Amino acid sequence: MIDSRTGRWWTVVLLAVCLWRCDAPRAVAGLRFPEDVFAFANETVWEYHDDPASGRLGWSKRDPRPPFSLRCGPMARAVRQFYQNVRFDPAAPRADAATYERLVVAVMASDPRHPRTERLVVPGYADLRSFSAEHAALIQAHISGAWSSQLQRGNWRMIFPFTFAHQAATMRKLAREVAAGEAPIVHVLRFPNITMNHMVVVYAAEETPAEMRFLAYDPNDASAPVVLSYDRVARRFSYPRTLYFPGGPVRVYEIYDGWLY
């Protein structure tokens, strides 16, 4: 038989458990593919093709040069700026062209490292995918050129060694960030080899005993995400074969992440 004091003690315990459960962390919604990315892609200045004789990926310069190209970095940054700073309201009436241009300019002027205190509202559209499909020319006109990637403050990092410990720490940090609903931007490279020098937005992670697989938005491909993998045994990242890269090991570091990057 339970006395009144014991009963009161169990009531307090059960109430505390209930409150803890009610206040427990919930799954955080993160960037979605394809809803939260652009409907158009960055066009490469090189045309890539398989070489049947060697089995390698060959390339030749496109002539004429595509009008919207060399924008992987600015596009990755812009996707994050929209993700952090915009709320789409499909129930609201669509606005005029001048209103949408003002909104796009405000988004592009935002700091990719720190969200605005208040989100901008884009009326008449459900997400960035649908908005960018109908306003591609407007958005492209306000996405900065290749110079912004060339002058990105984190570029100093590529010339220094990438240790196994650094890449493992990068993997763990990316996993924490996407679990928290963030959209980290990473510089993927093989410096001094120039076969890979690219920027993508990581938005999800899939863990296995052998590797961590990060799903990322690739500005060069609007149709599907790319998988950036970290091999736990080899302790390095690898990038898959694409139309512009033959696949293989790469080095990775995060950008737009603090005053050094």
**Torsion angle (degrees, nearest 10) of CA 68, 73, 77, 79:** 50
Residue 29, class by beta-carbon neighbours within 10 Å (0-12 exposed, 13-18 middle, 19+ buried)? Answer: exposed
| 206 touches 192 (CB < 8 A) | no
| 57 touches 51 (CB < 8 A) | yes
What mean pLDDT comes out for the span 51-62? Answer: 58
What mean pLDDT comes out for the span 128-135? Answer: 98
Which of 49-53, 82-86, 226-230, 244-248 has the least mean pLDDT? 49-53
Contacts of 104 (CB under 8 A, 6+ apart): 135, 138, 139, 142
What mean pLDDT comes out for the span 137-156? Answer: 91
Q: What is the pLDDT of residues 174-207, one digit of tens each?
A: 999 999 999 999 999 999 998 899 999 999 999 9
| 260 touches 154 (CB < 8 A) | yes
Which of 14-18, 34-38, 139-143, 237-241 has the least mean pLDDT? 14-18
What mean pLDDT comes out for the span 237-250? Answer: 95
Bridge-partner residues for 193, per DSSP?
190
Distance CA 219, CA 200 (A): 7
pTM: 0.84
